[in-house]
Structure 1
Amino acid sequence: MIQEIPPEFWQGIEEFNQQEYYACHDTLEALWMEAMEPTKKFYQGILQIAVGLYHLSNHNWRGAVTSMGEGMRRLDYYQPDYFNINVEELIDQTAHLLSAMQEAGPEKVADFVFAKNAEKNSLDIHPPKISKIEE
């Protein structure tokens, strides 16, 4: 049974999409700590991708790669969608970024940092966005 979607969840999604990854972490962590399965693992997956993107913004390649990979693994169960979120699309976007980062290696981490609210970076790679499924 899917739990009711709390308004704080949508706040966290908005923060994620505005590239406010630290704020997203704080918002979703509060929900995650109180949640029951299966929703708890869903929150954790999004949280880990947000943490990975936060690490990326601080040029922490290892932290970014590790956190994004863990987040994608946790979200795999929830495909194609959960809580009106297009999980499949989020995983695909994150996988694209992660693959490019792994191919480039840690010495090129700065190339992957997104300017605040930029649609893409110098490599023409887009930051992951969380899309809502319209009913």
Structure 2
Amino acid sequence: MMEVIPKQFWEGVEQFNSGQFYACHDTLEALWMEASEPDKTFYQGVLQIAVGLYHFGNQNWRGAAILLGEGNNRLRRYPEVYSGIDVDELLDKSLTVLKTIQMAKPEELALLKLGEDENLPLPKIVRSA
């Protein structure tokens, strides 16, 4: 676990949690490019989930499923809490979105409203207590 969490990471978290997924990607990509492991893969997992949610908002279901899957696969390698983030919470909510996309019929996909249905909550990055 990193000792000093960069300010840009928390900016990316704020962008993510306010639904600014493309901006979050840009912020975390800059960190990801310069980071070393294990932080590098962690940043990449979070930014892939952000891009997956961005694709979801644009009804790019294939892109959303691919990026959500890749991001979740990367974050699964981390403990329950990493860098002050509740990883399990993020994984739980983003996997719900992924499974919903995978199981929905094509005609149902356009009706999905992320965060407006209790069965499809908007994933958030939650700080661990």
Compute the TM-score of the two structures, normalised by the length of structure 1: 0.89
Which of 115, 123, 133 pairs up with 2:128?
133
CA distance in 1, matches of 2:79, 2:109: 29
Number of equivalenced pairs = 129
CA distance in 2, matches of 1:59, 1:123: 19
Paired residue for 1:55?
55
Paired residue for 2:86?
86
CA distance in 1, matches of 2:107, 2:13: 30
One-letter amino acid of the counterpart of residue 79, structure 2? Q
Q: Given that residues 94 and 128 in structure 1 are in contact (C-alpha distance below 8 angstroms), is that contact kept between their aligned partners in structure 2?
A: yes
Structure 1's unaligned 5+ residue stretches are: 115-119
CA distance in 1, matches of 2:57, 2:96: 17
Cα distance change on mapping 1:105 and 1:29 into 2, 3 Å: farther
Equivalent runs, 1:28-67 vs 2, <5 Å: 28-67=28-67
Compute the TM-score of the two structures, normalised by the length of structure 2: 0.93
Paired residue for 1:102?
102
CA distance in 2, matches of 1:110, 1:75: 28
Taking every aligned residue pair, what percent have the same amino acid on both sides? 51
Q: Given that residues 113 and 120 in structure 2 are in contact (C-alpha distance below 8 angstroms), is that contact kept between their aligned partners in structure 1?
A: no
What is the CA RMSD across the aligned residues, in angstroms? 1.5
One-letter amino acid of the counterpart of residue 26, structure 2? D
Paired residue for 2:5?
5
Q: Given that residues 25 and 50 in structure 1 are in contact (C-alpha distance below 8 angstroms), is that contact kept between their aligned partners in structure 2?
A: yes
